[in-house]
Structure 1
Amino acid sequence: MTFQTQILTLYPDMFPGPLGISLAGRAMEEGKWACLPIHIRDFATDKHRTVDDTPAGGGAGMVLRADILSAAVEHAKAAQPTAPILAMTPRGAPITQARIRELAVGPGVTIICGRFEGFDERLFDAHLEIEQVSMGDIVLSGGEIGALMLLDACIRLLPGVMGATSSGDEESFEQGLLEYPHYTRPNDWEGRMIPEVLRSGDHAKIAAWRKQRAEDDTRLRRPDLWGRYKDARVRPASDVQQKNKD
């Protein structure tokens, strides 16, 4: 099954962009995913193809109009009715690896790229199914870069894209932790040695070392992740099961 992506954007030439090369590019050539940019201006109703207007109540910048975007969303829904619709906005919930995995096993995704000061909020009132997501606590010039990031995260998880099916199992965030550090040859580089345990051939010790480093690095670098990881470890299994049901 081809993972179908639709991107509502004012800059359709940005797609597939970097996703047209390397793993994602090869996957596209093999038909594992498809990319359809949709120009938001095609849904404008005036001769100037206007898509924005000044903010109600005053203020700097321009706001993307709800009526124009709604027409574009309806077009995308008709073409791909089962795909989730995501809007890239710093007001959205931060995307997680768990959500990426959910998206990657679905039929595809429709992404709306914000620009200027963002969206007229009535778009989301009219289309409650739109999921507002953020790529982190940063503000970009537009949603296109965030959309490329999100698509890359999904595409690499599609069957057959990564060389080994287990390639992503121990990566950062998959187990609630940052990934352990990696090393490769030469063994001695400028007096810095690969940790002896990794050269020992003792797989149990290597696994224990990697788990400890993952925990140590997460605790030091991402105390927010570490707190959630600790909570999950001490929570009774019944609580976890009930949360999953909720």
Structure 2
Amino acid sequence: MTLFPDVVGDMLCESILGRAQERGIIRVDCHQIRDYTLNKQKQVDNYPYGGGHGAVMQADPLYQCWNHICQEAGERLHTIYLSPAGTVFQQADAKRLQRDYQSLILVCGHYEGIDERFIEECVDEEISLGDFVLTGGEIPAMAVADAVCRLVPGVLSDAACFTDESHWDGLLEYPQYSRPEVWHDRRVPPILLSGHHANIAKWRRKQALIRTRDRRPDLYQKLDLTSKADQKLLKEIALEEQNS
């Protein structure tokens, strides 16, 4: 649900998500909220009660759009409002939304926000991208849609495409390299050229641990590193850093 369906539609119809839509694995429909107004001017906003700057999106155009979507679906769909006052979106939320819901409605606000009565009646949860404010909900909605849709089976070629990535299991992803072997006098780590898959996996795990520890200590503190394999890696890391 947006005031700018062409922008959102164009973005989500490109690359991986675009191909997934062409194959019928996922479907993204963008609904122009103005099409559901009951006034000739297609007005969707008005001055806020109580005074203040800007305008507020009115409840009824949002409701008419939301109700139309639910009627088409034949059920009340889980509805998310993208709001700076929402819970900060995490990878765990992407997993949950993909697992628990067949369809989602993402509501993109604008101006000073949307009428609270629509939120109370129709919205199931509010999601934020972080502690900052954007001019509208389209960018957060596209981010949430991308994060959720890429987890749908068949969208990516293999589950490892996302299970090996940052945040899937609480770790940041290890460094990645591609050809050429030497670029600007910087060489690819020799272990990655060895063809020894077990050693490569060990190196990647070690690098992921170091990167998470150094860049996101908040995530690192939550990791369960009690396994014998991880304890051994931690000792190796400490020894290597001591000798470097």
Whether the TM-score (by the shorter chain) exceeds 0.5 is yes
Output one character per residue of 1:120-149: Cα deviation in whole Å (capped at 9) or x when no partner: 22222223x521111223322211122122
Unaligned runs of 5+ in 1: 1-7, 235-246
Distance 1:226-1:58 versus aligned 2 partners, 3 A rule = farther
Residues of 1 paired with 2:225 and 2:189: CA distance? 28
Output the amino acid matched with 1:147: A
The corresponding residue for 1:177 is: 171
With normalisation by structure 1, the TM-score equals 0.82
Residues of 1 paired with 2:225 and 2:50: CA distance? 48
Name the SS of the counterpart of 1:47 in structure 2.
coil
Alpha-carbon distance, 1:155 to partner: 2.3
1:119 is aligned to 2:119: no
Of 113, 127, 130, which residue of structure 2 is paired with 1:133? 127
Residues of 2 paired with 1:220 and 1:55: CA distance? 46
The corresponding residue for 2:150 is: 156
1:99 is aligned to 2:93: yes
Alpha-carbon distance, 1:29 to partner: 1.2
Residues of 1 paired with 2:225 and 2:77: CA distance? 34
The corresponding residue for 1:238 is: none
Mapped contact 2:59–2:117 kept (Cα < 8 A): yes
Output one character per residue of 1:218-238: Cα deviation in whole Å (capped at 9) or x when no partner: 222223322333xx557xxxx
Residues of 1 paired with 2:156 and 2:180: CA distance? 26
Output the amino acid matched with 2:106: I
Output the amino acid matched with 1:95: F
RMSD of Structure 2 on Structure 1 (CA): 2.0
Residues of 2 paired with 1:136 and 1:52: CA distance? 25
Of 32, 36, 42, which residue of structure 1 is paired with 2:29? 36
| Higher Cα Rg, which structure | 2
Residues of 1 paired with 2:118 and 2:76: CA distance? 19
1:214 is aligned to 2:242: no
Residues of 2 paired with 1:217 and 1:166: CA distance? 20
Q: Give structure 1 regions of 4+ aligned residues with deviation exceeding 6 angstroms.
A: none
Output the amino acid matched with 1:224: D
Of 28, 31, 52, which residue of structure 2 is paired with 1:59? 52
Mapped contact 2:12–2:28 kept (Cα < 8 A): no
Residues of 1 paired with 2:219 and 2:54: CA distance? 35
**Count of residues in Structure 1 that have an aligned counterpart in Structure 2:** 224
Residues of 2 paired with 1:169 and 1:141: CA distance? 33
Residues of 2 paired with 1:187 and 1:11: CA distance? 44
Residues of 1 paired with 2:225 and 2:114: CA distance? 40
Of 74, 77, 93, which residue of structure 1 is paired with 2:70? 77
Output the amino acid matched with 1:74: N
Residues of 2 paired with 1:121 and 1:216: CA distance? 45
Alpha-carbon distance, 1:112 to partner: 0.6
Same amino acid, percent of matched pairs: 39
Output the amino acid matched with 2:191: V
Alpha-carbon distance, 1:87 to partner: 0.9
Name the SS of the counterpart of 1:24 in structure 2.
helix
1:187 is aligned to 2:181: yes
Output the amino acid matched with 1:198: L
